[in-house]
Amino acid sequence: LQHLLTLEGVSCDTLHHILNTAESFLSLSDHDVKKVPLLRGKSVFNIFFENSTRTRTTFEIAAKRLSADVVNLNIEASSTSKGETLLDTMDNLAAMHADMFVVRHNQSGAPYLMAQHLNRIDRKDIHIINAGDGRHAHPTQGLLDMLTIRHYKKDFTLLRVAIVGDILHSRVARSDIHALTTLGVPEVRVIGPQTLLPSGLAQMGVHVYHDMREGLRDVDVIIMLRLQKERMHGALLPSEAEYFAHYGLTTEKLAYARPDAIVMHPGPINRGVEIASDVADGSQAVILPQVSFGIAARMAVMAILAGGHGA
């Protein structure tokens, strides 16, 4: 792998290799080993054109645990405000000897443009990791979600997984669906109002439900999503109370899932909109462990791209 732009088309073997590598980093931290030298001497540049709490911070922690030097570009204070293009910005950072760019952008496809540009200028030594582009893909979130599911449920081939909410605007849903179907999950469901579901879901191998209780029946894993208003551009929305009544996860609705079902959410959560506080903080929620698994998943991706861990 030179870049990680999407999970679409990534093979089952490669996904397992990344998850196995991430698990090896998890067991290191169990033994209190905080740092490994795999990226010593390398520079990782975080360039986030959209806000982030979890992804940016865990990428920084992950890179530091691999002994890389980390630069966080402050986009608001950068020369993009003076009209510098994304590719000119990248070229200038590459001239500062960047080895890896972790990029988040509100435009779907921005990391692809960067990767194509690197190919054109024959810089195969520089790697791009997509940290979320528009509504298209969030591959490392998909990977940390798979690491979480494998940790709690062990065997993907025995699972029913439901993804609930604003699928239309969700890059996480797309990356999760690609990973879950590739890893052999036999039943992936999406649950949401028609207006928040994209076309083409059946071709992606998922089952569509509009009734949340029906969709949650007997599932092993529930992945909740927030309403991504920043990508709705004035579309008519239900009131938050109305949305919560139909698609908010409450203890009453959770009871339709298997008793040992886990509740996931990529964050940020909106309490009382897509998830009740007592569920978000309850014994079935693994929302904060997801964040911790994000460090190991991102370490694995960076280590593999930099050539230190096969694939």
Strands 127-133 and 160-164: unpaired
Q: What residues numbered 113-142 form the site for ligand CP, per CB under 6 A? A: 132, 141
If the CB atoms of residues 53 and 92 are measured against ligand CP, the closer one turns out to be 53
Tell whether residue 53 is a contact of ligand CP (CB under 6 A). yes
**Three-state SS at 295:** helix
Which stretch, 14-22, 117-125, 206-214, 265-273, contacts ligand CP (CB under 6 A)? 265-273
- Minimum Å gap between C-beta 290 and ligand CP is 8
Which stretch, 49-57, 82-90, 214-222, 299-307, contacts ligand CP (CB under 6 A)? 49-57
**Three-state SS at 222:** strand
- Minimum Å gap between C-beta 82 and ligand CP is 26
- Minimum Å gap between C-beta 13 and ligand CP is 26
- The 8-class DSSP code of residue 51 comes to -
Tell whether residue 267 is a contact of ligand CP (CB under 6 A). yes
9 labeled binding residue: no
Q: What residues numbered 141-160 form the site for ligand CP, per CB under 6 A? A: 141
Nearest-Å Rg of the Cα atoms of the chain is 19
Q: From the CB of residue 16, how many other CB atoms can be counted at a distance below 10 Å? A: 15
Give me the residues paired with residue 191 across strands. 164, 209
Residues in the interface with ligand CP (CB under 6 A) total 9
Going through the chain in order, the beta strands assigned E by DSSP cover 43-48, 69-73, 100-105, 127-133, 160-164, 187-191, 206-209, 221-224, 262-264
Task: Extract the annotated binding site for carbamoyl phosphate.
Answer: 54-55, 104, 138, 141, 267-268
Task: Extract the annotated binding site for L-aspartate.
Answer: 82, 171, 226
